[in-house]
Amino acid sequence: MLLSLILWSPLLAGLLLALLPAEGFARIRQVALLMSLIHFGITLYLLRHFDPTLASMQYVERFDWLPEMGVRYSLGVDGISILLIVLNGLLTPFAILCSWKAISERVKEFHVLIFALQSAVHGVFMSQDLFLFYIFWEASLLPMYFLIGVWGGERRLYATLKFVLYTLAGSLLMLLAMIAMAFIAKEQTGHLSFDFSTWRTLKIPLEQQRWLFLAFFLALAVKVPLWPLHTWLPDAHVEAPTAGSVLLAGVLLKLGSYGMLRFCPTLFPEAAILFQKPIVIFCLIGTILGAAMVLVQDDFKKMVAYSSVSHMGLCVLGIFSFNLGGQQGAVLTMLNHGLSTGALFLIVGIFYERTHTRDLHVYGGAVVKMPLLGLLFLPIAMSSMGVPGTNGFVNEFLVLRGAYLYQPWVGVVAAGSIVLGAAYMLRLTQRVMYGPLKSPVMEHLVDLDSRELAQLSILVLLIFLFGIFPNLMLSRSEASVHEGLLLMMRGALPNAIP
Amino acid sequence: MKTLYLVLFLPLLTAIFIRLGGARMSKRAVSVLATSSVFVAFGFAIMSFIALSRIEPPRAATLIIFEWLRLGSMSIDFSLLLDPLSAVMICVITGVGTLIHLYSSAYMEEEEGTEFARYYSYLNFFIFSMLTLVLSANFVVMFIGWELVGVSSYLLIGFYRTKESAANAGKKAFIVNRIGDLGFVLAIFVLMGVFGSTDFNVILPSANQLGVGSVLATTTALLLFMGAMGKSAQVPLHVWLPDAMEGPTPVSALIHAATMVTAGVFMISRCHAIFELSPVAMHAIAWIGAITAIFAASIGLVQNDIKRVMAYSTLSQLGYMIMAVGVGAYSAGFFHLFTHAFFKALLFLGCGSVMHALHGELDMTKMGGLRSKLPITYWTVLVGCLCLVGFPGTSGFFSKDEILYQVLTSAHGSIGLWMVGTLTSLMTAFYVSRFFFKVFHGKTRLDHNVFEHAHESSAPMAVPLLALAVLSIGAGLLGLPHFISHWQPFEHWLAPVFSDLVRSEGHSESLGLPIGLMALYTLLAISGIGVCWRLFANVSETPTKIAVSFSYLHQLLWNKYYIDEIYDFVFVRTLFGMSRRVVRWIDQGMIDGSIHLISDSAQSLGIWSREKLHNGYARFYAGALVFGTVLMLALALFTN
Amino acid sequence: MFMSVEFALTLAVMIFSLGALGVMLRRDPLVMFICIEMMFNAANFALVAISQYLGLIEGQALVFIVIAVAAAEVAVGLAIIIAIFRNEKHVDVDAISQLRG
């Protein structure tokens, strides 16, 4: 029942929070933080007792839910999902901490939504029944919709509409494909089923695989977001409150890449290989163009947002390189991007609270006023551009190598991102931190308070920890990633591998 | 071997400690702590060196610290390799590092406490990175060191953070280095693909698997060399090094003269087994080295900023080293790296001493006559200059002579390369003596006040100068020409590393050629110096006249062949222009455009129905109701 | 008082059409109400006629429901019209279009 506990406890926490008096802001924040930390502790407990040598699902829970539709309440974790669950557990306290001062209206509702979001995201990572998966997938949309729509910036209405419509349009395709899959399961096994492990055993003709694959892939690609389906992301990020951005970049984008890694190759192996090349090309375009577009942004948050497009392009590239290194790199990218981009968004928030602007033209020279931030900014920027010693290097190295193994020219083109990545990240660093103080806005900057310092330094420590000991994470996901690849190869080339 | 832990991690731990706690310590404590940590590391490096010399050849010892990354059956360890090559490097790095730490304690005195601590922390971090690079036992660890060196160099170049130009220079250095790293990382992928490992012990002895003269070998070698071009600032990736002079001068001495920029030479020497497979790559390397040598020397002829003259001379000397390894004369190239580390560090520190005395003045046209004011600097810089020029008896003479000799006689060498090298040598003599005479001789062109107040710097600055001067002279003894001495400690020491080279490094028995060459270089050096003495020792109109009569050439050299402008135009502006267009046309135009088209058409349908159908006239609604009913009845009636 | 069912239905259609035309063409809400009543009663008339013709009682039962609903509707409608008249000082339906979307 551990998974159910992890899955529902945030929602429960949210409900408890709802019972508190709405005026006691400080009390609400403290209780929320405490509960999120306890919850993180439980996820760590799960990680501690997880057996990384097994490739199969662990802590499985399975009950019939809607038997006539073949829907089951079925949960389980493997090496890939467990890491993402812990990431989700980790980032929620940060989301609460970074809203300590920034959110001063409807504080209770805000925290309830954050908890609801956490539950929904956990559900996506745990569900072994695709019906359940879909419910959580859609459920994760709503809290974010409100987080941006209620506490967002000036153009929040536009941003939320774009975000929701983009995602819904994609999910609808996925829903259709899921229903089709359930009927295929009925044809082949005799009863309707949304069970992932059943679906994996189905033999689907290539003709059908193509459409089903594309439907799944498009839905997931919107969420990742893969170029050219990314334009909702910068708008959503720019309008979102800091906590929203942290969670959006930190965990919501991972829903897409997680789904791709989990479903696309294993359910539709032949179609996956068929579409490998075009997808890889889209990833390359996204990675390079995304990085190029960061260079010319003048909005602090937009720069970070576009860098997400570039990084997630690399992540999908790793997944679709279909080799162990590339996919391991992709898993690491999901986690590391959560840490480094999460930290960058925290920094954007820290600045925005002080300057009330994100226009980089007025920034510059902040390091003079904020030496502590200067100290912490650097490792975060380095992580984002993949400098060795930070976690970003490991995943970049693995993904690029995976891409190179797929086809050398892909590796060469993708490696261009390490130059562009350095260019935009150093440009950002310089425009914000270095140079003379340019504007009166920057004169009144105060350095990090202890709350901000704690947040950033924990992230920086993790950045170094996973950069120096990447095996901490790699060893946990290796068996599962390997298993997924094996399944795919067996499906795609039944004669090649016994 | 455990001493290597201390050599490597002492500087790192000190760097972290000072960065976090240095602001609360006194400046003196910071500098003592940082300097002594590097000095202790130097002691341990010497101990490792001695321990290594006791091991029978092939001398090599590997130390696995921990498993860094495991992927399926492949495992990449964080492991160190101590062999003659890396043993020399760690001694040079920590040795020169100690001197420069010492020098900095006086040079950076005027900085605030926090800035002072930050400086030392970065400097120690650089030492750690560089040690990682040279001690690495596999390509990935080397790459880690490689990149970290880039980071620390970025930090130190941009040390004066509030100066826009310093921040720009740091950024430029890092990005240009990254372009080189791109090649390096791709080379690692190729090697991992072929050998399934990244360990030097696995790859280098069996490098033949790449295929002698094969396309794969050439590609790998050139990709690796791309990395070397970035770090060792070879044309066309040289643009960052002159700008790197924005950093504090001791940094220029340590990083941009003695250690970091030699990483490329070190790497080629380390991986020579791969380079040897591809004659094409070797030729390319030798020629790029030669082009860099003469290209940088020609720019150096006309520059007035003393640090920039030194920067271009570093580029030029690096060109020599690369040319040497390109013709397969690894020992010679490495020897020049070794001697150059001392005399170039000395020259930079000398420049720093001059700047310190003149409150940051860099323009040599405004100096002159400093000989009497700065006697220690004068004499030590003189030693450095003589080494750089290649004056007989100095270390620079022997190392450069050996390179040019090898270029002429080795199987990979050619007359063309030799001529370029010799011409460069003449130019070197010219620009070095121009610098020297303009700064120290003649009547001063300085402001009276400044000149009178100029005084020799304190002991912490003078001691490193003297020590380096001694080393600059003495280092030559380790690699005397073969016909003078059979005692060849340097070559002998490195022999195990290059033992796989079947080619004998042709030392013909005849004495005619080597002696003739030596005489030629001596003549060139003296004539260069002599011409400069006439031109620059006293104020005269002649240099200006020459500059005017060759004004186009002068302009070209003065503007460094307009390379920066060309890059800015071709790459930077294009990239930015393209990116802007991508944002405007593709992102906002095409993608958002089509999204908006869909949403707008849905919206305008809604607006139309609101305006036209839901017009609020009850009678219209009634009419519509009747019309609709009739229509449906008609359909029901007539379709059946 | 016997008439053929055809005659009764024709009469119902005519009354209904007159009522519908009245609703569409007149702007006075009271007259529109009267027209609506005409339509109701045309329908009632048709119901009675058909029920008589088929010998079934349900049609006549339905008529009572229609009459009851119509009465309720008139009560509400008149209340609305009076409320509008109080606010607007006129009852021109074309001028009352605030409730458009």
Size of interface B-C (CB pairs under 8 A): 31
CB < 8 Å to A293, chain B: 579, 582-583, 587
H or E element in which residue B18 lies: helix B3-21
The whole-angstrom separation of Cα B464 and Cα B359 is: 20
d(CA C50, CA A332): 79
User: In this predicted structure, what is the pLDDT of residue C2?
Assistant: 63
Answer yes or no: do C100 and B618 touch at CB < 8 A.
no
For chain A, the residue count is 498
Neighbours of C33 (CB within 10 A): 19
Distance, CA of B271 to CA of B200 (rounded, Å): 8
Q: What average pLDDT does range A236-246 have in this prediction? A: 91
Closest C-alpha to A481, from A371, A398, A366 = A398
The answer to whether the CB atoms of A471 and B591 lie below 8 A apart is no
Cβ contacts (< 8 Å) between B616 and chain C: which residues?
96-100
How is C20-31 classified by DSSP, letter by letter? HHHHHH---HHH
Host H or E run for residue A60: strand A58-66
Compute the nearest-CA separation of B617 from chain C (Å). 5
Two tokens, residue B524: 């060139």
- Chains near A (3 or more Cβ pairs under 8 Å): B
Position B16 scores a pLDDT of 92
Alpha helices in B23-112 (DSSP H): 27-54, 84-107
Using an 8 Å CB-CB cutoff, list chain C residues near B619: 23-27, 32, 93-94
pLDDT digits (tens, 9 = 90+) for A246-264: 999 999 999 999 999 998 8
DSSP string, C41-76: HHHHHHHHHHHHHHT-SHHHHHHHHHHHHHHHHHHH
Over range B561-568, report the average pLDDT: 86
A-chain CB neighbours of B164 within 8 Å are: 434-436
Burial per residue of B300-318, b for 16 or more beta-carbon CB atoms within 10 angstroms, e otherwise: bbbbbbbbbbbbbbbbbbb
Burial of A349 (0-12, 13-18, 19+ CB in 10 A): buried
What was the pLDDT predicted at B502? 54
Taking contacts as CB-CB distances below 8 angstroms, the residues of chain A near B155 are 378
Looking at beta carbons, which residues of chain A come within 8 Å of B167?
Answer: 430, 434-435
* CB contact (8 A) between residue B618 and residue C96: yes
pLDDT at B372: 83
Name the helix (H) or strand (E) containing A63: strand A58-66
Average pLDDT over residues A297-319: 92
pLDDT tens digits along C23-68: 888 888 888 889 999 999 999 999 999 998 888 888 889 999 999 9
Once rounded to an integer, what is the mean pLDDT over residues A227-238?
Answer: 89
CB contact under 8 A, A292 and B582: yes
Other Cβ atoms within 10 Å of B449 Cβ, number: 8
Sorted by sequence, the CB contacts under 8 Å of residue B631 that are 6+ apart come out as none
- Residue in chain C lying closest to B610 (CA): C101
Chain B interface includes A55 (CB < 8 A):
no
Q: Which residues pair with B76 in a beta bridge?
A: B69
> Given an 8 Å threshold on Cβ–Cβ distance, is B616 in contact with C98?
yes
Alpha carbons A4 and A59: distance in angstroms, whole number: 10
According to DSSP, the residues that pair with A127 across neighbouring strands are A75
| Cα-based torsion angle of the residue sequence B588, B589, B590, B591 in order, rounded to the nearest 10 degrees | 20
- Determine whether the interchain pair B616/C99 forms a contact, defined as Cβ–Cβ distance below 8 Å: yes
pLDDT the model gives residue B56: 79
Residue A494: band (very low, low, confident or very high) from pLDDT cuts 50, 70, 90: low
Handedness of CA A461, A463, A467, A472 (dihedral sign): positive
CB-based contact B3:B41 (threshold 8 Å): no
CB atoms within 10 A of CB A493: 12
User: CA-to-CA distance for B394 and B473, rounded, in angstroms?
Assistant: 5
Cβ–Cβ contact B612 with C under 8 A:
no
Instruction: Determine the residue of chain C that is closest to B624 in CA distance.
Output: C24
Chain A residues touching B151 at Cβ < 8 A? 382, 387
Higher pLDDT, A123 or B485: A123
Q: Which of B158, B582, B590 is facing A293, going by the closest CB pair?
A: B582
DSSP assignment of B573-635: IHHHHHHHHIIIIIIIIIIHHHHHHHHHHHHHHHHHIIIII--S-HHHHHHHHHHHHHHHHHH
Contact A458, A93 (CB under 8 A): no
Secondary structure (DSSP) of B226-283:
HHHHHHTT-TTS-THHHHGGGS-HHHHHIIIIISGGGHHHHHHHHTHHHHTT-HHHHH
User: Under a CB-based contact definition with an 8 Å cutoff, are residues A111 and A96 in contact?
Assistant: yes
Q: How far is CA A219 from the centre of its chain?
A: 15
Q: What is the average pLDDT score of chain A?
A: 90
Helix H or strand E segment including B82: strand B74-82
Nearest CB neighbour to C93, from listed B615, B619, B626: B619
Determine whether the interchain pair B178/A435 forms a contact, defined as Cβ–Cβ distance below 8 Å. no
Nearest to B498 by CA among B269, B264, B262: B269
The Cα-based distances of B323 to B221, B237, B342 in angstroms read 15, 16, 20
The whole-angstrom separation of Cα B625 and Cα B475 is: 105
Residues 11-50 of B with CB under 8 A from A: 19, 23
Secondary structure of residue A201 in the 3-state scheme? helix
The reply to whether A388 touches chain B by the CB within 8 Å rule is yes
Which residue of A233, A378, A401, A474 to mutate against B (max B Cβ within 10 Å)?
A401
Q: Which stretch of A201-205, A233-237, A259-263, B269-273 has the lowest confidence by average pLDDT?
A: A201-205
User: Under the phi-then-psi rule, with left for phi > 0, alpha for psi from -120 to 50, and beta for the rest, what region is A74?
Assistant: beta
What confidence score (pLDDT) does residue A498 get? 44
pTM: 0.89
Helix (H) or strand (E) run with residue A413 in it = helix A408-433
Q: Does B617 touch chain C (CB under 8 A)?
A: yes
Residues of chain C contacting residue B622, judged by C-beta atoms under 8 Å apart: 20, 23-24
pLDDT of residue B113: 83
Asked if the model's pLDDT at residue A333 lies above 90, the reply is yes
Which residue has tokens 């529902």?
A8
For the segment B170-184, the average pLDDT, to the nearest whole number, is 92
Flag if A388 and B147 touch (Cβ within 8 Å): yes
pLDDT in tens, A56-104: 888 888 888 888 888 889 999 988 999 999 999 999 999 999 888 888 8
Q: So what's the pLDDT on residue B393?
A: 82
Judged by 3 or more CB pairs under 8 A, whether C touches B is yes
Beta bridge mates, A468:
none
> Has residue B489 got a pLDDT over 70?
yes
Angle among Cα B313, B319, B320 to the nearest 5 degrees reads 95
CB C97 to CB B626 under 8 A? no
Cα B249 to Cα B232, B319, B350, B581: the distances in Å are 19, 22, 9, 41
Cβ <8 Å between B193 and A371: no
- This complex has an ipTM of 0.92
Q: Which of A205, A204, A247 is nearest to A110 (CA)?
A: A247
Put simply, whether A284 touches B (Cβ < 8 Å) is no
| Position with higher pLDDT, A496 vs B459 | B459
Gap between the Cα atoms of C49 and C54, Å rounded: 9
Assess whether pLDDT exceeds 70 at residue A351: yes
Q: Is the peptide bond before B392 cis (omega within 30 degrees of 0)?
A: no
Chains in touch with B (≥3 Cβ pairs < 8 A) = A, C
**Pairing between β-strand A71-77 and β-strand A58-66 as defined by DSSP bridges:** antiparallel
Residue in B with minimal Cα distance to A467: B68
Assigned token pair, A346: 């925290």
Pair of tokens at residue A185 = 């399961």
Q: Which residue has the higher pLDDT, B499 or A75?
A: A75
CB A372 within 8 A of CB A447: yes
pLDDT digits (tens, 9 = 90+) for A314-326: 999 999 999 899 9
Q: Looking at CA atoms only, how far is residue B167 from chain A in angstroms? A: 7
Query: What residue ranges in B486-544 does DSSP mark as E strands?
Result: none
DSSP string for B417-456:
HHHHHHHHHHHHHHHHHHHHHHHHSSS--S-HHHHHH---
How is residue A6 written in tokens? 């992890």
Q: What is the spatial distance between Cα B398 and Cα A392, in angstroms, rounded to a whole number?
A: 45
Reported as a pLDDT band with limits 50, 70 and 90, residue B510 is low
